[in-house]
Amino acid sequence: MAQNLNTAALAALPSGVAGPGYDRAALTPGIVHVGIGNFHRAHMAVYLDRLFAMGEGYDWAICGAGVRPGDAVMREKLAGQDNLTTVVELDPKGLSACVIGSMVEFTEVDAAKTIARMTDPAIRIVSMTITEGGYYVDATTNGFDAAHPDMRADAANPDAPKSVFGMILSALRARREAGVAPFTVMSCDNLPENGHVCARTTIGLARLSDPAFADWIAAHVAFPSSMVDCITPATSDRERAMVADRFGLTDAVPVACEPFRQWVMEDHFPQGRPALEKVGVEFVQDVAKYELMKLRILNGGHAAIAYPGALLGHHFVHDAMADPQINRWLSALQTREIIPTLPAIPGVDFGAYQAKIIDRFSNPEIGDTIPRLCHDGSNRQPKFILPTLRDALAQGTPAEGLALEVALWCRYCAGTDENGTDFGPNDASHADLKARALAARQDPLAFLSNTTVFGDLGQNASFADSFDRLLEALWRDGVRETLRSYAK
């Protein structure tokens, strides 16, 4: 019978399950992290757990925080197991499990309490994993969306904020008034130049109500950028049953992830930081090239396999990768069109990185799904595909495959796979995308004129012509033949 995960269980964990290699009672929080989801617990929390196991950085433990109702649910579940998490690494050569204890608190999901915790001088980093869509970015200008209702509300009521950025501003203001140095604000989300995006939103919100305070933040608060990477599927009954049956633990919110993680970060922490370089984090002067490599090869690769995978009836990512046509298509697209847009990085072999990505996508133990990759395309395409397409068009390098990826997304947005099975809603703009995708069979501009997604890209004649021709081929010849024609 599986034993409940809690502090008492650490003294006698089931055979084969590693526990925290340190005294958790000796840890004190130095970081407030907003967004205690699966990715954070598989990534940042694991790095810190490994550092603590070396006997270092005990004053850098995590205090969790949240701003959404779902965060309160997570807090309650983690509280029932003393903020411990079972992390299962899904290595096809053999699964392994470890209980990590780097988070020692989870503050109530209450703005005043979260602000008070951030104001504590012991907190020197406030980090966040709030998803790519949580930064109030204007899709048209790619700048700060000052007109968003959340931002307008926080600007009008800076002493009673609702957003994480409003809470950060309130805590920074309180620290400044108390003569306490500002904490570093660190985004851990999968965004290009995530530190710059985070700074732009924080400063932009401040400027709506207090321009002088915005200037102070710009001059005194650090926002380091970082590239984060670890494929981490959502937790379901499958993962809970795996932890109970295979590892003998009852964990309400276990995490399963691939046996690979990477963190490349700008070293800009005025109030200090944990010595994460000792556990594999790469500190660099400029993370932008690393971000670009990951966003285009990994995230762009996910987008490239998502839509043909769905249209051909695949549910799991590893099954799509086992389809020779999809595998060849991905390799050809990355080699011919994605990698040529990347600036060189000394010591980094893009071909080796690409091969590793394909190996990771093919891991059957992860159980990552095609529907997950297809979700929210109107938000993902402008981040992971369209910038590559723009660069290829500007550089005069091949862009036929990138146009085909957009055509595959359009074909997917039409709502059914090649057997007529309905996908169901898959995007916040699902109805509009479906109407545009169906109309694009006669008029490609019906899809490309969606300026919220494409900006002015739909006006590029070369791209529009390729998109039109390839979309017609997908409807006429089918996905397999169209992919085969490209990858031959």
For residue 422, the tally of other CB atoms under 10 A from its CB is: 8
| pLDDT over 80 at 139, yes or no | no
With a cut of 90, say whether residue 252 has pLDDT above it: yes
| pLDDT tier for residue 455 given thresholds of 50, 70 and 90 | very high
CA–CA gap between residue 323 and residue 331 (Å, rounded): 12
| pLDDT of 420 | 96
pLDDT of 192 reads: 83
Q: What is the pLDDT of residue 49?
A: 98
- Tokens describing residue 80: 């029932």
Neighbours of 138 (CB within 10 A): 14
Fill in the DSSP letter of residue 80: T
- Alpha carbons 56 and 273: distance in angstroms, whole number: 12
pLDDT of residue 189: 94
The whole-model pTM stands at 0.88
pLDDT at 7 (0 to 100): 97
- What does the pLDDT look like over 110-128, one tens digit per residue? 999 999 999 999 999 999 9
Strands in 61-65's sheet, in edge-to-edge order, are 103-106, 61-65, 29-34, 125-128, 184-187
Contacts (Cβ under 8 Å, ≥6 apart) of 6: 80, 81, 82, 84
Please give the pLDDT value at position 132: 83
pLDDT for residue 460: 96
Average pLDDT over residues 38-42: 98
Encode pLDDT of 209-242 as tens digits. Answer: 999 999 999 999 999 999 999 999 889 999 999 9
Cα separation, 334 vs 419, in Å, equals: 28
pLDDT of residue 141: 85
Q: DSSP readout, 181-241?
A: PPPEEEE-SS-TTHHHHHHHHHHHHHHHH-HHHHHHHHHH-----EEEE---PPP-HHHHH
pLDDT of residue 285: 87
Per-residue pLDDT reduced to its tens digit, 192-214: 899 999 999 999 999 999 999 99
What per-residue confidence (pLDDT) applies to 198? Answer: 98
pLDDT at 12: 94
Contact (Cβ atoms closer than 8 angstroms) between residue 226 and residue 218:
no
Q: Band of the pLDDT at 103, cuts 50, 70, 90?
A: very high
Which tokens sit at 182?
């500002």
Average pLDDT of every residue of the chain: 96
Q: Are the CB atoms for 165 and 206 separated by under 8 Å?
A: no
> At residue 140, does pLDDT exceed 80?
no
In terms of Cβ atoms closer than 10 Å to its own Cβ (0-12, 13-18, 19+), residue 447 is buried
Backbone angles phi, psi at 285, to 5 degrees: -70, -35
Task: State which amino acid sits at residue 201.
Answer: T
Determine the pLDDT at residue 245.
97
Coil, strand or helix: which one is 29? Answer: strand
So what's the pLDDT on residue 408?
A: 98
- pLDDT of 96 reads 97
Residue range 428-445: mean pLDDT, rounded? 96
